[in-house]
Amino acid sequence: MDGYALNARASAAAMRANDDGGATRRWEFEIVDDEASRAGPAKATRDDEGREFGAMECAYVTTGAVLPRGCDCVVPEEACEVVREGSGRARADSSDVVSGKWTRAVGSDVRGRGEVLIAKGERLSAYDVGVLKYARDVVETYEPPRVRVLSTGDELAASASDVAVRGCVVDTNGPMLEALCGEESAEVISRDIVRDDEAATRAAFEMAVADASCDALITSGGASVGDRDFVKQTIEGLGGKIYFRRLAMKPGKPTMFATIPRATGPPLLVFALPGNPVSAAVTFTLIVAPCIRALGGVRESGLRRIHCVLDETLRLDPERAEYHRVTLDWTRGNLPVARSTGAQISSRLLSMRNADALIELPRGPGVVEKGAIASALLISDVRHAKGANMEKIQWPKKSRGDESRRSNEALDSIVTVLDAEGSVRDLKRVVGLEEDARRHCRAAGDCVDALNKLRMYSDGDSTHVAVTDAQSPGLRRGIATTLERLRVVTPIGDVITKRAYARVGLVGNPSDAYGGKCVAFTISNFFAEASLRRTPSSKRVTFAPGPYDGNAFDSFDALSTHVSQHGVDGGVRLLKSLCCNLMRYCESTKQRIDTSCGFEMSYTSNIPKQTGLSGSSAIVIAAMRCLLEMYRINISLDDQTELALRVERDVGINAGPMDRVAQVYEGAVFMDFTKPRASTACGWRIHGEYTRVETDELPPLYLVWAKDNESESSRIHADVRRRWDAGDADVATSMSRLASLADDVFKAMATRQINVEELKTSIDTNFDIRRALFGDQALGALNVTLVSVCRERAGCAAKFAGSGGACVVVCENDDRARALKEACDAHGFEVERVVVRK
């Protein structure tokens, strides 16, 4: 800063001594021209023989100059008024006379001697180059990895102008892979196309092997099992070793990694990627890029991981884990919101163009619902994204062991433990075995902080392959010890996943409080799913937040609505209560469980909220099934229903037994609450007698519901319960009639003699009795409209599936089903055919 340097401490004291108590004022400072200082080498005598400035003295200085002795402040030139030139005076405001203002201490850019400016193994940015000049003129860097890129296929043309005949396509993989290598600071020696010809393929491979400067060969296409795919046999013909050639992931199943030996020096690394462009891009990002970084000396070679909220429902693949391309919006809450980039077919490269991350979807049936929290790997630079929170990004753990060396020790990035015979298809990842290997490694005193990508896979009987990015001999010993243990101990599956399905009340009075009877069933359309991952190395118990555990809301009203629907803790409160109640049950039945192994539990649900389909109890029962399997607890179905009921009542949910009975027993169940009894195991009160019935003879059933239709069971039942307790005859008669309807339907189902018209009459009568008993005000206008539309506009029989929010509808033929669909569409209602659980 160009301006006038002065001694602020001494001058401020002098100004206070002469202050007349007025407001901020301008003061005059004597200019000492002989002590002016300009940027450049300082005067040799300045620090030793120059005069020391006192109060109310100043000297002109320029930006970067050494301050005169005693000066600790600079007042900008534009803030000063020079009264007289040449041994004159300068005026400045008292507010500008502040010690340290517009000055920089020597060495203030760093904390002090010994501070690490750039750590070994960090990738250098343009700014890092400038920072390094603080300490060194020359630094040693790793050589960039050198790779060859090879596209295979008779159909490939080098450019669009070469696509002259039908059946040819432009080679997009080659240029894309070359550019991706460039982003990883690798040097691409060559990029070629080879036809589907064995001799031509072998010649291209031999050229790469002969080039001692080539670290890796990256191919696309030709690695599958077709009669024109020659990559595998070429590698084997050159004496190479294939570590794997199939991956249980989507996209990228036909991915291969191999090494080919050379006469001298390290072997050639071969990454054979799929031919579909998206598959090639994803497998490069997940597998090749981290290896290139390791070859280039990058210490933290793994991808960064975040948690995000799904903005839409994503369907799972039943066979393979999927890496789903998404964009991230960081402005909508505590976590970024992930939205799919569109159709995920492996040929659609546009799905990668704007992708910020790859959502890690597990394999399995069903879907991951909108609003669920998912794990994702970042594939774009989000540092400048609007609203991005860098604290939410999980960086790979830093290694404190030996640094990477520029050699072919990158081979340790893939370690074959047992002979995989070139295949890892149909193998499941076993996280528990990974923890075992780490534990053995720690016991050996080896550093394991670098193990940010240890993966172990099993077919259920023996482990075939382990993959890691660490170069740790101790880890190898740990893996070997783990495998030795597995030879004599059958491995236990690491992750337990269970479901409980939505409940639909078909007919009757579901409340035990009124001595009711009912028929209810579970449906496959909607479910809650709980997952429990054992953590053998720790006793720690962790609950992951789910779709009902929001921490960021669009408004205060949205927060209030959420709390009224899900409570202050959402779904996690149910999991906590479940664990405590289950522990009490085990104590009362004298069942000892081993709590030395901790676990992580999470849940998700696609059951529409506030529709009376028993979403909260489904979460409880799914989680309960996980715990029962983990601890091998002996508990009857009846006690399970009572346990689930106690869990919900503990957290303030006004629950009755029907939902839990239906979801525990599954399928269709007739419940007679006039016959309560005691549990033979723990003495709990079992609320009734329960009988499973077949549903094969039922006509087509549909579910109709309205979005944002809040139906609270406790509010609906409050007045009727008060009247029942007071001995109201109308209530007693109505409850008896509802029970009789359930008896009739049960007998028809049990004898397989269902008359559709009689069933429709029973269902309509069921609703009419409840409507007269509870009143439209208690039921809610929208709930009444739901039933009216189904009955009057579509000509179907309909009643509430629970206390309100959704209707179960009988459509005996396709004409009625079409009429129902048209009527619901006109009113904006959702409609779906019911799939009854068997």
Q: At what angle do helices 637-650 and 572-588 cross, to 10 degrees?
A: 130
For residue 773, CA distances in Å to 337, 763, 780 come to 45, 16, 13
Strands 701-705 and 830-833: antiparallel
Q: Provide the H-helix boundaries in 246-364.
A: 277-283, 289-295, 350-353
Nearest to 639 by CA among 605, 589, 675: 589
Phi, psi of 831 (to 5 degrees): -140, 140
CA distance 464 to 459: 8
Nearest to 165 by CA among 150, 175, 154, 173: 154
- Whether residue 149 contacts residue 214, with contact meaning beta carbons closer than 8 Å, is answered with no
C-alpha torsion sign, points 343, 349, 352, 354:
negative
CA distance 523 to 666: 9
CA distance 626 to 156: 51
- Whether residue 530 contacts residue 563, with contact meaning beta carbons closer than 8 Å, is answered with no
C-alpha torsion sign, points 117, 122, 127, 128:
positive
Q: Is 280 helix (H, G, I), strand (E, B) or coil?
A: helix
CA distance 109 to 115: 11
Q: Provide the H-helix boundaries in 444-511.
A: 473-486
> In 203-284, where do the E strands start and end?
216-220, 241-244, 249-250, 256-260, 268-273
For residue 313, CA distances in Å to 329, 355, 605 come to 16, 18, 11
496 DSSP β-pair partners? 532
Residue type, 42: A
| Active-site annotation, residues | 659
Cα-only R_g, the chain: 37
**Which residues are CB-neighbours of 306 under 8 A, at least 6 positions away?**
328, 335, 336, 357, 375, 376, 378, 392, 393, 394
Q: At what angle do helices 756-774 and 729-750 cross, to 10 degrees?
A: 160
| Cis peptide bond upstream of 68, omega within 30 | no
- Write out the H or E segment, with its range, that includes residue 705: strand 701-705
CA distance 113 to 437: 40
Phi, psi of 604 (to 5 degrees): -150, 165
Sort residue 748 into left (φ over 0), alpha (ψ -120 to 50) or beta.
alpha
User: Interior CA angle at 45 toward 43 and 46, to 5°?
Assistant: 65
DSSP character at residue 394: B
Furthest-apart CA pair in the chain: how many Å? 117
CA distance 697 to 17: 102
For residue 834, CA distances in Å to 387, 525, 608, 609 come to 42, 7, 14, 17
**Beta sheet of 701-705, edge-to-edge order:** 797-800, 806-810, 701-705, 830-833
CA distance 145 to 133: 25
